Structure 1
Amino acid sequence: MASAFMTRNDIQMLKDYVAAPGNFGQNQAQSSVRLNVTHSNLKAKFMEIVMDLHMTGVAVKVKLNTHCGTAVGSMVVQLKDEDGNLIATLDDDRVLGFYSPYNGCMLHIIDTDPHSLSANGWLEDTSKVQKYVMSDEDYAKRENTYKKFRDEKRRVDPEWTAEKELAMRRNLPYAAPSKREAVTDAAYMQEEARSIDVGNRCEVDPGGKRGVVRYVGQCEGLPLGFWVGVQYDEPVGKNDGSIKGKRYFECPQGYGGMVRPNLVKVGDYPPVDDFDFSDEDEI
């Protein structure tokens, strides 16, 4: 009878499978090619897709339709090299292999439908989408909200914070930030900042939050002295790399934070691995 547990070797094989490049880790067949895909109505190169060299131009369009939504009849597909130079425009009846594409080439989709959902930025510009704004009254009626969770925690522990909760869940020591007098020295913590470089992996206290150093220096709108901008691995930050309207680095909203250099430890701090089960051989 097969074991219901996964050994460490099984876990490693699963991790290797998930991390393998393209097509979710599957081996590439000799008759296939990996092509990047771009779209006339979208700004970014948005996928890598595996195509069989025996597919006709129509079959290529049908497969692309399932990924981008552009109708087959409204699609012109160009084959380009990795530098964006045009190789050919695909013919509906000619097989893809006729054009001798290779891994890294691009398929560029030209959407000729002026009423396409992707036209005029509708799939990328979120400002065009009407946002739902919940009233305070409706929010108060909802169960399991963060506000109710926070209020209950603070009822039990008036000094509760999200950082304290995170440290507790990770079984890490937590020290509440002490109240300090106003800083009057513009070079405050400059020495501590000298050993921290942009690009360093780091861990930030309290809470042992891990991330990458994205900025080191002074910050307008914050107390005098030196600060370290960190992009966290998890959404435990407070901003997107901008402070009071001035941008210091780029990161997703909620992943950025500015902290004092004495709270930052740089070194070999890889992202937390949810598949790491210490020395256990089975799970």
Structure 2
Amino acid sequence: MSGIIQLDNSDCSYIKANVSNSHNDAVAFEMKFAKDITIAQLKSKLEILTGGSASTMKVELYKGDTFVTALSNNDAKLGFYVNCDGLRLHVIDTFASFGFDSESVEKFELTNDQYEQRGDSVRNFLKQNRLGKYNDEEMQQMEAKRREHAEQMQKRAESCVLGARCQVTVAGNPTRRGTIMYNGPLEGKTGIFIGVQYDEPLGKNNGSVGGKSYFVCPPNYGGFVSPLSVEVGDFPPENFDLDDEL
């Protein structure tokens, strides 16, 4: 899936993600989730964590403050959307209003300084227990991983020259061979993508994404993937001689 980055995890069956919500986006805390749970199951867990409703909440995926994608398919596995640690799950919902007309009720509001001084706030709990973004060592490790990933991505992208033969490996898909046709950004997406014309109709498009053409190929022969999914080398087209099959 485009836009999702991949890093090495010591436990590849789980991911660590920061959780924030639209009720108070100043607070984010880190949680661990199994990759094989569905988005519907994830929402049930987030319902307990955030106070939102699993039936009405929307969940968005962010890399830092950059939007990556919406987790809109309730039947999909979490691992389909998230394959690395350090991203952020943002929950959007009305949250518990309990039937009150908020316009007719006197609001209790705190300034950021007042909230900072409260000893019983979630923010102070996270600080005191060195959780999430208040764990300096963990944040430094995450930043080091992000830098390492960016360097790997840049190095691999530089090797993906136009016209080169390549082999593409993406989780959940067969290994495919093809020719590199595009190297660069996609409109509305974050990062660099490699456009490939596959030897077989195992792609998803004709070289166009979102109505914009980046290269031209027959339908279902084109695809755009992360540079880390592309291996450049001597990969001639595979010949499937049907006469040899009984």
Asked if Structure 1 and Structure 2 have the same fold, meaning a TM-score greater than 0.5 normalized by the shorter chain, the answer is no
**Higher RCO (CA 8 Å, separation ≥ 6 residues):** 2
Q: TM-score, normalised by structure 1?
A: 0.33
Q: TM-score, normalised by structure 2?
A: 0.37
Larger radius of gyration: 1
